[in-house]
Structure 1
Amino acid sequence: MLTRRFLISSLALLPLAATAQAGAYEAQPLSVAEMQAGGGLIVDIRTPEEWAETGVIAGARLVTFEGAQGFIAAVGPDLADGRDLILVCRSGRRSAAAAEALQTMIPNRIISVEGGMARLIDAGYRTVQPQ
């Protein structure tokens, strides 16, 4: 029996693939701009050194993830309207772990960018220098 994740990932036409965690999703790189345009809040959880090294997504909030409580304090007011929270890190591992940590703490849909900034850049996504 094929899993839902395998089926969705195989159909590259669909932008989201379910992860093992209920309420958290992984986004393919090409759907990130679409999600941002749809009102999603992109939060880059990498370190300032990583932001400077590769640049950041234009319009992304830059908040290093050092724990769920501090993160929620930093971005919580921006999530009050129920918008999607889109997390990006260097490779996708930190954002997936952060999504898992946050999923029971906030009601918003949480999305981890699969492959992180490395995959976004490989896919031709343009970045800007952090301000």
Structure 2
Amino acid sequence: MMTKTAKDLVAEANKTVETLSAEEAAKLVGDPNVVLVDVREGEELQKTGTVQGAVHVPRGFLEFQADPTSASHKPELGGGKRLVLYCGSGNRSALAAKTLKEMGIENVAHVAGGFAALRQAGAPIQDGE
């Protein structure tokens, strides 16, 4: 029997991770101390593009690409920079940010409203992969 729904898990994640507004996150684009991380699937990026300079790490690979001992590690996720995650609407990024915190990465936040909100807030968008 299911004891927690996906909605419950997202609500718990939002209580434990920093949430930025799209406007706050849009101002961070280009900041050398910040890495924006797009956790959407590749098909989503192809259809809509991504925030300029963002690193693409699909949610399903996040733990492996964040782990410096993994053969799949992405160095952009290390180095002590602030990681700001976003997805399509803000749910997957909340879960992903919580996971990174559980892995010991402290300087992490996610964007409320996700990519759509970032686009509306005027974040620079580039074509997808």
Q: TM-score, normalised by structure 1?
A: 0.73
Three-state SS of the structure 2 residue aligned to 1:35 is coil
Once the two structures are superposed, what CA deviation does each residue of 1:65-88 show, in whole Å capped at 9, x if it has no partner? Answer: 115432314555324331111101
Query: Unaligned stretches of 5+ in structure 2?
Result: 1-13
Q: Structure 1 residues 75 and 83, CA, compared in 2 at 3 Å: closer, same or farther? A: farther
Q: 1:129 to 1:82 in 2, by over 3 A?
A: same
Question: Moved runs in structure 1, 4+ residues, more than 3 A?
Answer: 73-76
- AA aligned opposite 1:109: N
Write the deviation string for residues 76-115 of structure 1: whole angstroms up to 9, x where unpaired. 5324331111101000000001111121213331110110
Instruction: Please identify, of 98-107 and 76-85, the stretch whose mean Cα deviation from structure 2 is larger.
Output: 76-85
Partner of 1:20: 15
- Structure 1: state its 5+ residue gaps: 1-18
Deviations 1:38-69 (A, max 9, x none): 52111101011110111101110111011543
How far apart, CA to CA, are the structure 2 residues paired with 1:68 and 1:57? 18
What is the aligned residue count? 111
Distance in 2 (alpha carbons) for counterparts of 1:95 and 1:75:
19
State the percentage of identical aligned residues.
30
Alignment partners' CA distance in 1, 2:122 and 2:28:
17
Tell me how far 1:26 sits from its aligned partner.
Answer: 0.8
